[in-house]
Amino acid sequence: MRRTLLILALAIAPFAMTGAASAQTYGPSDSAGPIQITATVPDNICTIGDLSDGDNLFDVGVMIDTTTGLLLSTLSAPPKVLTGTQCGAPSQLTISATQMTAQAFTTTPPNGFSRGVDYTATASGWTTVDASYATGDAANAAATQTRDTGGSGQITISLSDFATAGGPSLRPVADDTYQGAIVVTLAAIS
């Protein structure tokens, strides 16, 4: 058995050496490089996150004291949170809002009544000073706020300071739907 293996090994050895020798022989070659790689991450991209509860509706519920017909002084709604907000540059946060108005009652209300309810919408958590917009105010200087750095985080949107348009002695007209809207905008500052 030893002889067979030795003879077999001697018979295979020249082929193994030829393969090893030919593996060391190289033909002409050429190369290029180094080849540079570049990419860009734009610094002007901002994205507003998603509402944490997936619901884009503030449900204020019944707005009046059913005994007096006047707007409730304790009116409120749970805040909404935009999660996953990010901006790779300094940014500007702006909030705007529209008055809540009766949707079915579209004519002039009778004396002592109003079709509108004002409120303040606030966006907090992104800038050091909250952005806020009061629907009953003629000017809203605090509606736009800036952040000096890029970043990521969340923005909390809340409602407060509900007031009957035209004054507290007016009663909101009966209507199944009062509707308003809030818009939050995040933009990079160039």
- Reported as a single tens digit per residue, the pLDDT across 140-187 is 999 999 999 999 999 999 999 999 999 999 999 999 999 999 999 999
Q: Cα-Cα-Cα-Cα dihedral of 116, 80, 161, 111, to 10°?
A: 10
Instruction: State in words which class domain 46-188 has.
Output: mainly beta
Q: What's the pLDDT score for residue 23?
A: 58
Give the whole-angstrom CA distance, residue 119 versus residue 124.
16
Q: What's the pLDDT score for residue 180?
A: 97
Q: What is the DSSP string of 23-75?
A: HT---------PPP------TT-EE--EETTS---------B-TTT-SBPTT-
Q: Which residues pair with 187 in a beta bridge?
A: 92
The owner of tokens 């705007």 is: 96
Task: Supply the Cα-derived Rg of the chain in whole angstroms.
Answer: 35
* Count of Cβ atoms closer than 10 Å to residue 43 Cβ: 13
Query: pTM here?
Result: 0.79
Give the whole-angstrom CA distance, residue 190 versus residue 179.
35
Helix (H, G, I), strand (E, B), or coil: what is residue 4?
helix
- In the chain, where the domains are located: 46-188
Give the whole-angstrom CA distance, residue 170 versus residue 113.
5
Give the whole-angstrom CA distance, residue 40 versus residue 55.
35
Give the whole-angstrom CA distance, residue 100 versus residue 102.
7
Q: What's the pLDDT score for residue 1?
A: 41
Residues of the chain with pLDDT under 50: 1-13, 15
Q: What's the pLDDT score for residue 18?
A: 52
